[in-house]
Amino acid sequence: MAQRYVVKDVKARLCYNSRGDPTIEADVTVGDSLGRAMAPAGASVGKYEAQALPQGGVKEAIRLLGQYKRRLIGLDTSDPYALNDELRKIDGTDNYSKIGGSTAFALTVAAADGAAKAKRVPLFKLLSPKGPHYLPRPIGNVLGGGKHAGKATPDIQEFLVCATGAKNILDAVRANTAVHKDLGKRLEKTDPNFTGGKGDEGAWAPRLKNDEALEVVYDSVRAVSDSTGIESRMGLDVASSSFWDEKKQIYDYSRSGVKRSAGEQVDYIVKLVNDYRLIYVEDPLHEEDFEGFAELTKKIKVAYVVGDDLLVTSPEKLRKAAGIGACNACILKVNQAGGLGDALRFAEAAREAKFTIITSHRSGDTAEAHIAHVAVATGSKMLKTGVVGGERIAKLNELIRISELDEATKMTSVDFQPSSQI
């Protein structure tokens, strides 16, 4: 009879994320092993994603856990869906508004962490026993604007870099870091008053308009590609919902003093992809414009058109997008869905739809590295996790450790193949 790895005890506490905001951390005891996970939080939050905390915040979430804790004792942690499905029953809502998506995240990830330790296997292998397993390619934010930075920064939320030519994870991390450092020096020359300020994710936060930011990042990416011999490419997280004016039906780039209609926004994004050789463009349109995403995806053949706020790690929304050809890639954020099992079901739907998966951090993150394992387990093409900062580097260092294991030594290819997962 196969050994079962069941929940023996559950405990939760209030802790703090990288922005200094309160969040929930859970300990789940599995046999003689302790699993632990702390929930991250986003700043750019899609209106349809899981509600992070119940009314009353972290303290209320912990109080509620005391009421239903007994229902979790004895559940099999080696099955990533068992605890998740029980929490869904306990919550009874579509968006975890009763117990909080952060609670579901912390409990389910801690349970899986405990099971992996008890079984003495890497977490990614617990979640995906058969494989094959590949390392995702890191993509990170080097210049920030929008909700991740100050008011004088660009409207576009994230200017990203991905070392597309790296042969291994060490070179990929080295190249991304080199762009961040080179960019900092360029910004000092561009703006004598630049103080080295950074946004939530460790990206530089300069006083620049969108076009200026695009040029300086592009120059830095090309320079580092030449100096290291490792080709790097730019990406963008436009976060268009943050400046979409629903009443006027325009994209109001207020920091740059530009307004664009829906059609003009599509043309603008196509131009950016072509002018700056973008490999990746996330949330280029607002979170309800499935038809616009479909139009844009038809026009862009050389980059990943990525849905985040549009899809919010929801299998139902992903299937809707796939049905009309909106996007060819998707963001997987575990806490956006709620529990780990919810996220794994989303990944399964993405693979069925032949969408490329990008596992992502949150702007208010923690120093834990679980999502590096989630990215490997789900066959993610990329891991979006910043470039510098302890909570960002933690995930990248974990990929380096994973690369030493026989089960996951090869990196994914990011040559644009919209119908191919790896």
Do 204 and 103 lie in one domain? The reply is: no
**Rounded average pLDDT over 219-229:** 97
pLDDT above 80 (res 81): yes
Q: How confident is the model at residue 408 (pLDDT cuts 50, 70, 90)?
A: low
- State whether residue 360 is helix, strand or coil: strand
Considering the domain architecture, whether residues 236 and 175 belong to the same structural domain is answered as yes
Average pLDDT over residues 236-242: 96
352 is catalytic: no
Provide the 3-class DSSP secondary structure of residue 329.
strand
**pLDDT score, position 132:** 87
Give me the catalytic one of 201, 282, 391, 398: 201
Indicate if 47 belongs to the active site.
no
Question: Could you tell me if 156 and 272 lie in one domain?
Answer: yes
Domain CATH number, residue 39: 3.30.390.10
Same domain, 214 and 103: no
pLDDT score of 2:
57
Q: Which is the catalytic residue, given 117, 333, 384, 395?
A: 333
Query: What is the chain's mean pLDDT, rounded?
Result: 93
Mean pLDDT of 248-271: 96
- What is the residue range of 65's domain? 7-120
State the pLDDT at residue 407.
67
Reduced to 3 states (helix: H, G, I; strand: E, B; else coil), residue 227 is helix
**Residue 411 pLDDT exceeds 80:** no
208 and 179 in a common domain: yes
Sequence-ordered list of residues with C-beta below 8 angstroms from that of 108, at least 6 positions apart, any chain: 80, 83, 84, 87, 339, 340, 341
How far is residue 377's CA from residue 384's CA, in Å, rounded to a whole number? Answer: 15
Same domain, 186 and 71: no
Clarify whether residues 175 and 72 are in a common domain.
no
Q: Are residues 83 and 167 in the same domain?
A: no
Distance of CA 411 to the CA centre of its chain: 18
Portion of the chain with pLDDT greater than 70, in percent:
95
Q: Total domain count for the chain?
A: 2
114 & 201 share domain: no
The pLDDT of residue 417 is above 60 = no
Asked, for residue 251, whether it belongs to a domain, the answer is yes
Report if residue 419 sits inside a domain. Answer: no
The sheet with strand 258-260 has its strands ordered as 244-245, 250-253, 258-260
Asked if 189 and 137 touch (Cβ cutoff 8 Å), the reply is: no
Q: How far apart are CA 190 and CA 215, in angstroms?
A: 11
pTM comes to 0.94
Residues 392 and 319 in one domain: yes
Residue-wise pLDDT for 50-65, tens only, equals: 999 999 999 999 999 9
Token readout for 47 is 């209106």
**pLDDT category of residue 422 using cuts at 50, 70 and 90:** very low
- Pair 166, 116 in one domain: no
pLDDT at 415: 57
362 and 223 within one domain: yes
CA 239, CA 56: separation in Å to the nearest integer?
29
Say whether pLDDT at 74 is over 50: yes
